[in-house]
């Protein structure tokens, strides 16, 4: 059991260091890193206190492995939910930017046509 604790503790610490490094380098925004940091902290807590998951599983009336599966599934579900909200926000922003670009292109064409009309009138007068 001690060997598994050391391995999971090391993995969780490496995960936390990796996430902090991604934040530091600007490759991961803080708002997206929060769930990863929480995941690393939970794994670290469970590796330091391995009986905690057993206590939780008994309190919920589940087997140890089932409780581990449920906790893992919930974290994955939260990560997918976070990605879905980010994707929705980016999709909406992309639509807004596309509409703004279309409006700007339309206005540019109108100004360009007006410019050519004015330069043609000037050339005809001269």
Q: What is the pLDDT of residue 23?
A: 92
Q: What is the DSSP letter of 19?
A: H
Q: What is the pLDDT of residue 47?
A: 86
5 in Cβ contact with 23 (< 8 Å) = no
16 in Cβ contact with 38 (< 8 Å) = no
Q: What is the pLDDT of residue 66?
A: 82
Encode the chain (126 residues) as per-residue pLDDT tens digits: 688 889 988 999 999 999 999 999 999 888 888 888 988 898 899 889 888 888 888 888 888 778 778 888 988 898 899 889 989 999 999 999 999 999 999 999 999 999 998 888 777 776
- Crossing angle, helix 51-60 and helix 30-48, to 10 degrees? 90
Q: What is the pLDDT of residue 75?
A: 84
């Amino acid at each position: 059991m001690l060997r598994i604790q050391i391995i999971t503790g090391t993995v969780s610490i490496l995960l936390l260091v990796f996430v902090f490094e991604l934040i530091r380098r600007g490759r991961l925004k803080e708002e997206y890193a929060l769930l990863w940091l929480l995941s690393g902290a939970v794994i670290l807590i469970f590796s330091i206190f391995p009986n905690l998951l057993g206590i939780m599983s008994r309190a919920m009336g589940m087997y140890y492995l089932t409780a581990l599966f449920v906790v893992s599934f919930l974290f994955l579900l939260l990560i997918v939910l976070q990605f879905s909200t980010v994707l929705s926000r980016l999709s909406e922003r992309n639509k807004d930017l596309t509409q703004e670009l279309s409006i700007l292109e339309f206005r540019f064409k109108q100004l360009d046509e007006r410019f050519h009309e004015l330069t043609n009138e000037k050339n005809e007068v001269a």
